[in-house]
Amino acid sequence: MTSSLVLASASPFRRALLANAGLAFSARAAHVDERALERPLEEAGASPSDVALALAEAKAKEVSRHFDDALVIGSDQTMSLGARVYHKPKDMAEAAEHLLSLSGRTHSLNSAIVLVRNGDVLWRHVSTAHMTVRPLDRAFVERHLKRVGEKALSSVGAYQLEGEGIQLFEKIDGDYFTILGLPMLPLLEKLRQLGSIDA
């Protein structure tokens, strides 16, 4: 093992994924203004995948400043439907609007990982999952959101696939880890190549 691993995230889901895979790591939240980074990228026509990569890189580089020689894992996820890029709903009305806009359509979850050591990018990767929402009517959406409550505001799509959100879908193309925001298989492969975990 050549260096310590640091996850640049406060996400309990991402931490759990690494812990469940048996990795020894520390975690530190990255202090970056995501909206300020996103805005010029989106205005310049950057793809949702490029935006996710830029955010993941910014997080990894910010945390890397605090850990000399550590291998820092930055990650981020964008959700897009055509040209529209979604952000976390600010209230339940916006959560309902998100879900109704996805009704009967296929959107994309773009999950990026960037590995950084001493401020230098060693690797970038994006995995995309395609999520097809079944046709939904407003009455169902309102009942669904009443059941799940404020949890709907914690994710960009206003759903948690690992919970009742699974009822919203008719088809999913992509792996579970990409959907959760940390594509584990390509990450683990790269960590083995770098000698950072047991191969």
- Of these residues, 33, 69, 76, 175, which one is catalytic? 76
Name the residue among 12, 167, 153, 7 with its Cα closest to residue 93. 153
The candidate with the shortest Cα–Cα distance to 159, out of 72, 100, 81, 83, is 100
Cross-strand pairs, 85: 80
- Is 76 in the active site? yes
Count the neighbouring beta carbons within 10 Å of the beta carbon of residue 192. 12
Alpha carbon distance 89, 52 (integer Å): 18
Q: Look at residue 17 and give its three-state secondary structure.
A: helix
C-alpha R_g of the chain: 17
Catalytic annotation, residues? 76
